[in-house]
Each structure stands twice: as C-alpha cells, then as structure tokens.
Amino acid sequence: MADDEKAGDGKSEKASSSTGAVLGVLLASVIAAGGGVYLGWSQFGKQEPAKHAAKDAHGKAGKDEKYTDGSRVRDLQPITTNLAGTPPAWIRLEASVLLNPENAAEPQSAEEVELLRVVNEDVVAFLRTVTLTQLQGPSGFQSLREDLDERVRIRSEGKIKELIVQSMILE
C-alpha cells in the first residue's frame, strides 16, 4: 500500500508541473501580446495621415496640384494591334488622357470626341513601329510611356496634359 501512495504522489507532481508549465507559457503569451499592442499604439498612433504629411515650401499642407486644377480624365478606346518585328507580337493597351481644364467640357463635345479619336489612331500608328525588344523590362515600359505622352501632347497641341497607361498586355 505504501507503494501505491508513492505512485499516486508521482502522478500529482507530474500533473502540477505540466500545469505550471502551461500556465507559464500562457502568461508569457499574454504579456507578449499586451506589449505588442502597447508598442503598436505608441509608435503608429502618433503618425500623421499621408494626406497631411506632404507640405509645400511655406510649411502648409498642400495637395498635388497636377490633378486638382479642374482637369478631366477621358478614356481612350482599348487598343489591340500588332507590333513591328519578325516574330509576330501583339499588344493590348488601355489608356486615358488628362485634359487641360480649359479644354475639358463636362459633357463631351464633338471636338473633344474627335481629338480622342485622332489621339487613339496616332497611338495605334506609333505602336505598330515598336518592337517587342524595345518594350522589355521596366526601362522599356518607362520609355514607351514617355514616348506616348510626348506624342499625345504634340498631337493635341497642348490640349492634353498627360497620357495615363492603365494596362498593357503583350503576347
């Protein structure tokens, strides 16, 4: 019977030591979670929103004047055409133009529709002269954007500020 009592005491010691370990891990987890929450609130709660972070030369909060001056964004028709070069390659380009405020009537005028049609045709004509190797990599895409932007500004005689490429798929 004395052996049975010793065996019973061993089980209770094991149970209490495993319970103590579980409670210790649980307590450490709660402390770590609380510390993380505190650090998150103290560090990230003090930051200003991004719209207030930009300041002009006089220290006042400013907006990006490029898009807040009354300019209008107009979508071009999606363009699908073949590229220049021996292996046949195709491009699909979806773009918009940013019209200057004085040329951007709220209801689209016939003159504006004609301008967008001419610009769309000019972009197609330009894309047919570009090869696939010229478009490879980030510098190729940047070069294409700059070339198209310049062509659109020249073709529109300054009525368009910028060409915005929304998507481009090469096949």
Buried b (16+ CB within 10 A) or exposed e, 78-87: ebeeebeeee
pLDDT at 6: 52
- SS3 (DSSP) at 25: helix
Task: Kindly indicate the confidence band of residue 58, based on its pLDDT and cuts at 50, 70 and 90.
Answer: very low
Q: What is the pLDDT of residues 101-152, one digit of tens each?
A: 776 666 677 888 898 999 999 999 999 999 998 988 889 999 999 999 999 9
Q: Please provide the size of the chain in residues.
A: 171
For 93, other C-beta atoms within 10 Å of its C-beta total 20
Task: Please give the Cα distance from 130 to 126 (Å, whole number).
Answer: 7
Tokens of 149: 């932007």
pLDDT at 158: 85
Q: What is the CA radius of gyration of the chain?
A: 33
* 163 sits in which H/E element: strand 160-170
pLDDT at 146: 93
With 80 as the cut, is the pLDDT of residue 9 above it?
Answer: no
* Mean pLDDT of the region 71-75: 85
pLDDT at 10: 55
Q: What is the pLDDT of residues 30-45, one digit of tens each?
A: 898 888 888 777 776 6
Task: Kindly indicate the confidence band of residue 94, based on its pLDDT and cuts at 50, 70 and 90.
Answer: very high
Distances (CA, A) of 83 to 116, 122, 150, 155: 22, 14, 20, 21
Per the CB < 8 A criterion, the answer to whether 90 and 67 are in contact is no
Indicate the pTM of the whole model: 0.58
pLDDT at 51: 44
